């Protein structure tokens, strides 16, 4: 979970959140990375829908 822990540490440090215990940090890692994946999927889905709806012209 190396790269994910780096993302979590950066998030915690950026927002000045109190340092969590190792157990809390593990849960925070899963939660924060899950939210990031969800955001990427929603943006991709939205982009795909817009391209499909408006990208083909008036056929």
In tens digits, the chain (59 residues) has pLDDT values of 688 889 888 988 898 888 889 899 899 999 999 999 999 999 999 999 999 988 876 55
CB atoms within 10 A of CB 8: 21
pLDDT of residue 47: 95
pLDDT of residue 34: 94
pLDDT of residue 55: 81
Helix, strand, coil tally for the chain in percent (to 5)? 80, 0, 20
- Cα separation of 12 and 55, whole Å? 40
CA 9 remoteness from chain centre? 14
pLDDT of residue 11: 87
pLDDT of residue 58: 55
pLDDT of residue 19: 85
Q: Where are the domains of the chain?
A: 2-54
């Amino acid at each position: 979970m190396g790269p994910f822990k780096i993302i979590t540490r950066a998030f915690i440090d950026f927002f000045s959140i109190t340092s969590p215990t190792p157990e809390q940090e593990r849960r925070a890692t899963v939660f924060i990375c899950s939210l990031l994946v969800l955001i990427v999927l929603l943006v991709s889905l939205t982009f795909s829908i817009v391209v499909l709806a408006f990208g083909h012209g008036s056929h």
